[in-house]
Amino acid sequence: MNGPLAGLRILEVGHILAGPYATMLLSDLGAEVTKVEPPGGDLSRQVSDAYFASLNRGKRSVRVDLAAPKGQERLHALVRDAHALLVNLKPSAVHRFGLTYDALRPYNERLVCVALTGWGMAAGDDPAFDYVVQAATGIAALTGDPDGPPLLPGYSSADNSAGLAAALGLLAQVVSGRGGQIEVCLRDVMLSQLNYHAAAWLNDGVAPRRLGGAHAYYVPAQLFPTAAGHLALFITHDAFWRAFAQEAGIDGYPTMAERAARRAEVVAAVTKALAADTAQGWEARLRPLRVPAAAVRTLPEALAAAPETVVETGGRRLVASPFRIPGHEPSYGPPPRLGEHGDLT
């Protein structure tokens, strides 16, 4: 392996998405990641080969029955040579399998243990799947049309966000040079990402409203229909508005405060103006003006427009690492076969 994390050895115990996504990002940066899988393997292997590959490229796999004494011996042997362990299981399983820093400290005092759970280690085993957490933390209530039902985003935003947070927490403790226990839970991560909405409520008593995807403060900042397709506009500064308004033939509303106060009028004026051209046409017209705008594309269209973000490994095409580091070209290995690098069941 090469990359800025070359030499870092990480163990992963978990299933499906949040934990495996965290360790895959670290693997892309050069860390050696070993999946410690149960006899039946990570549950994501049952979804599809492409699904498993999208979260586990470049890793090693050892099959270990952590419920058996020999499996515990194998775990302790792996821990002795590891820098960190990331666990993505319910709290009772984390404790039952001895996957905490307190349990593993006798085998490696400098080991960093990250427990990635739904509600926190002290909160019990209530189910905490991505969409459940989005519903419980206010994400769904903010999503959708004002007069319609709450909606969920079309991807696993809570799992992916928690994976990023867990990877950051792991690295922070490794950099400190001390072993220890780190906790990250999906609930806390999603509440953290509602930062300015939460601050408005906690400090000013202003509850967030469902605005059909429109931004709570900036106007116009939302999706608009056009003659063909939809256009995303994100007008923040007054300079952006002046450039857009001149191109679109709209008069008035020169300041951010006035646009926010007269939201309905501004949205109506923008909607009328944008009906004169297609989404692609507006994007082409506004881009040279540096106005933040983009035509709504499907994922296939977005991938076709950015071929440099697609890599091939193990006979499969996947989205590349999001990190761009001068002098580092990620080495994308194939996803491991179950127990490919050790099998003790």
User: Residue 16: pLDDT above 90?
Assistant: yes
Confidence class for position 1, pLDDT limits 50, 70, 90: low
Using CB atoms within 10 A of its CB, is residue 41 exposed (0-12), middle (13-18) or buried (19+)? Answer: middle
Residues 6+ apart with CB under 8 A from 85: 10, 11, 12, 13, 79, 99, 104, 111, 112, 113, 114
- The token pair at 211 is 């605005």
Average pLDDT over residues 158-183: 98
Q: How far is CA 165 from CA 86, 186, 272, in A?
A: 12, 9, 42
If you write DSSP's letter for every residue of 13-40 in order, what string do you get? EE-SSHHHHHHHHHHHTT-EEEEEE-TT
The predicted structure's pLDDT at residue 2: 79
pLDDT band at 345 (very low <50, low <70, confident <90, very high): low
Q: Please, where in the chain does CATH 3.40.50.10540 lie?
A: 9-193+310-344
**What CATH number labels 9-193+310-344?**
3.40.50.10540
The answer to whether 343 is a known catalytic residue is no
Among 159, 204, 251, 343, the one annotated catalytic? 159
Sign of torsion, CA 127 132 134 138? negative
CA 32 to chain centre: 21
pLDDT of residue 327: 87
